[in-house]
Amino acid sequence: MGSTAAEPTTLPLTRASVVAAHALIKPYIHLTPVQTNTTLSTLASTPQSPEALKGTPWEGQPPARPKIKLFFKCENFQRIGAFKARGAFHAVRRLVERQGLEEVRRRGVVTHSSGNHAQALALAAQTFAIPAHIVMPAISTPSKIAGTRAHGARIYFSGPTAPEREAVVADVLRETGATLVPPYDHPDVILGQGTMALEFAAQVDELVGGRAELGVHREGGRGLDAVITPCGGGGMLAGNAVALRGTGVRVFGAEPSFQGADDARRGVERGERVRSVRSLTIADGLRTPLGEWNWGVVADEEFVGGLYAVTERNIRDAMRLVLERVKCVVEPSAVVGLAAVLFNEEFRGVVEREAGEEGWNVGVVFSGGNTTVEAIAQIFREVPEERAERQEGVVGMDGERVAENVAG
């Protein structure tokens, strides 16, 4: 339900607009923490073993030897447990500026989401006493459904794909006259998501300014060299890219490869946006195709330096490491960027080539933590798609092998 043209009053996709968005939503969001972890930085800087690369596209090739210090922007500690609160609050505040609060209250708002934007819009609407109508796939995580309902939203269920969601949204729009607040494909949402990049860069600058040993640059106290974020609909990746353009910080995106969920990567390679995705990757927040507005940013190498795909096994292994080593509760979508840093030799090779001996300070966004103990337990059981993945020969290292690499 994207559009190639926004309202005349929509702000341009510039860093200045992100700064304005941050000022607008600051009273309603958390300044989420940035964490470091020596073990994960060591793992990222350790070459993968030949055994680990067996069955991957990089089998038989010399492993990359990047030097990386990791910094984690913990949006799992954001309101509603995910970064989506940023875009939702900005979109609602801008909507109120355009229409007036009473008119927005009269009409209400509507969106479709697998869970995090659903909860975020429900919270933003509740904050301003605005009725919220939320379309959610019937297979959404139960905790996300419960969280959305807890903020007073009316929920409508749909099939899992974007076209199925959008069909139900169209019905709700006809019935209610509510205003659509897209989950990712709108400038107001993109700018809201980009506010995390402003915070992230400033926080890392402060950290390495006080303790240079936290980063790779011993002289000059330079902060982030790169940021990598998960990419589903692309609002977060596009927002970070807009916010950081011209600052010297490179921006990259990461996606699941399972059942074609790496649509942004494939689309950029082909020069044409992939409009439909039907994947049941465990990274449920990344099952949507890249939006039209977001495509305009993500496909532009002046904004995004590359997109990298990871397997289901890679995602589980990264999630295990975060749970056990960082002591953070994260959902699978949140660790796709970390999985690319640890297991995708193409990304690791970019760092090795471009950073040289000095290395890079790499910022990884943990996009959310909306999961349950039961869901985590299920993720770590062997499931049919993992067996299929092994048969296809695209399995990366597991957590135990990574640990052995470091010990060795």
Q: How far apart are CA 212 and CA 62, in angstroms?
A: 31
To which H or E segment does residue 179 belong? strand 179-180
The answer to whether 11 and 191 have CB atoms below 8 angstroms apart is yes
Listed residue (258, 308, 254) closest to 280, CA to CA = 258
The answer to whether 124 and 88 have CB atoms below 8 angstroms apart is yes
Residues classed as catalytic: 84, 114
The answer to whether 9 and 17 have CB atoms below 8 angstroms apart is no
The answer to whether 279 and 225 have CB atoms below 8 angstroms apart is no
Q: Quote the crossing angle between the two packed helices 312-321 and 399-407, to the nearest 10°.
A: 60
Intra-chain end-to-end CA distance of the chain, in Å: 51
Q: How far apart are CA 175 and CA 172, in angstroms?
A: 5
The answer to whether 228 and 362 have CB atoms below 8 angstroms apart is yes
Token reading at 188: 């107001």
Cα 307-196-70 angle, rounded to 5 deg: 60
